[in-house]
Structure 1
Amino acid sequence: MDPRRIEREIRQCRLDKSSGVEIFIPEESNMLHLKASFPGPAATPYEGGKFVLNIELPNDYPFKAPKVKFDTRVYHPNVSSQTGAICLDILKDAWSPVLTLKTVVISIQSLLFDPVPDDPQDAEVANHYRSNRESFNAKAREWTRIYADPNTSLDMAGLDPGAITRLVEMGFGRKDVIGALRKVNGNEEQAVDALLNGL
């Protein structure tokens, strides 16, 4: 691993304000674990959302591809709706050391704009995309609204989206739910107690 290269890539990304792409180190001591965020592309069901990625760099980066998955739940044929895994050639056999982390994030953003349903990560979502585009777009927009709210999407990172959804459906405010789950390390029952007791 070349820490200078990683720092340079993060710095270059920070200097480019126009892309909306952010890359940062969530734990200062570990340069092999990064997070990135980007805005949903305009004129898509993902517009208005802020999407967070989890990036794990191998020790021999940039000679091996980073492992990247969505922290934000996203309804898309090339993204697992369960795990956030992404089907993208540059994350597998088309990786090259000349690519940068910013290139990876922008490629994932482009994938949201232009899905490839014939090479799906989530076959069920791909079938929905192919069979009823209007219904697919409505569901993708709904997930963007629920999971990719730019005010809370970073706070949600690492929490179980299902727990957030269940507690919101119980009538608690989304921000309160996220705050409660954060306080109790994601324990859903303890979060309910905290919300009921106004902690």
Structure 2
Amino acid sequence: MGSQKRIAKELGELVQSPPDGITVELADESNLYDWKVHMEGPEGSPFEKGRFLIKLTLPTGYPFKPPSVSFATKIYHPNVTNDDKGSMCLGMLRPDEWKPSSKISAVLEFARQLLAEPMPDDAVEGRIAEQYKNDRKRYEEIARDWTRKHAT
């Protein structure tokens, strides 16, 4: 029961005063554990002007277990899997690094920051990470192109 109370409280705070460029709603009003997050691409990044849909799923063990965050919108990024799952690799969401005191707003702000500053050394898409490191211009062209095509 405690986890539902905490989730409802965090959801309320996020709906009332969301972080910059982020809006949050329940994917289904009857399910507190599945959220739809709309995230605007950060200014100055190749994702600028894009609007990304992110699925955030909370485990029943929250806050003692981390939420899972995935992109429903296709994105060209070294830290997001380039498949239908769109899983995002965030260090703070690893079970061994997650802290129950962490809040969902911090997770979302970190995810948005990652769009502006990818972490190629912690990549799930090695090829994109290599390109990011070695041919930044081309990486940004493709990322901008995908943003135009997929993130409306």
- Fold-level match, TM-score > 0.5? yes
Unpaired segments ≥5 residues, structure 2? none
Superposition pairs for residues 112-127 of structure 1, below 5 Å? Answer: 112-127=115-130
Shifted more, 105-114 versus 30-39: the winner is: 30-39
| Separation in 2, partners of 1:78, 1:17 | 23
Instruction: Give the aligned length.
Output: 149
- Counterpart amino acid of residue 58 in structure 1: P
Q: Which is greater in Rg?
A: 1
| Separation in 2, partners of 1:103, 1:9 | 11
TM-score (norm 2): 0.92
Aligned to 1:63: 64
Aligned to 1:53: 54
Aligned to 1:5: 6
Superposition pairs for residues 126-145 of structure 1, below 5 Å? Answer: 126-145=129-148
Q: CA deviation at 1:17?
A: 5.1
Larger RCO (alpha carbons 8 Å, 6+ apart): 2
Match for residue 110 of structure 2 among 107, 127, 132: 107
Q: Does residue 75 in structure 1 map to residue 68 in structure 2?
A: no
SS in 2 for 1:33: strand
TM-score (norm 1): 0.71
- Please say if residues 81 and 88 of structure 2, whose CA atoms lie closer than 8 Å, have aligned partners that are also in contact: yes
Unpaired segments ≥5 residues, structure 1? 150-199
Aligned to 2:90: 88
Higher strand fraction: Structure 1 or Structure 2? 2
Q: Which stretches of structure 1, 4 residues or longer, exceed 6 Å deviation after superposition?
A: none
SS in 1 for 2:32: coil
| Separation in 1, partners of 2:66, 2:112 | 17
1:87-122 alpha-carbon deviations (Å, 9 max, x no partner): 111110321111111111111001111111111111
| Separation in 2, partners of 1:14, 1:59 | 21
Q: Percent identity?
A: 36
SS in 1 for 2:82: coil
Q: CA deviation at 1:18?
A: 5.8
Q: Does residue 40 in structure 1 map to residue 56 in structure 2?
A: no
Aligned to 1:26: 27
Q: CA deviation at 1:4?
A: 2.0
SS in 2 for 1:31: strand
- Counterpart amino acid of residue 136 in structure 1: Y
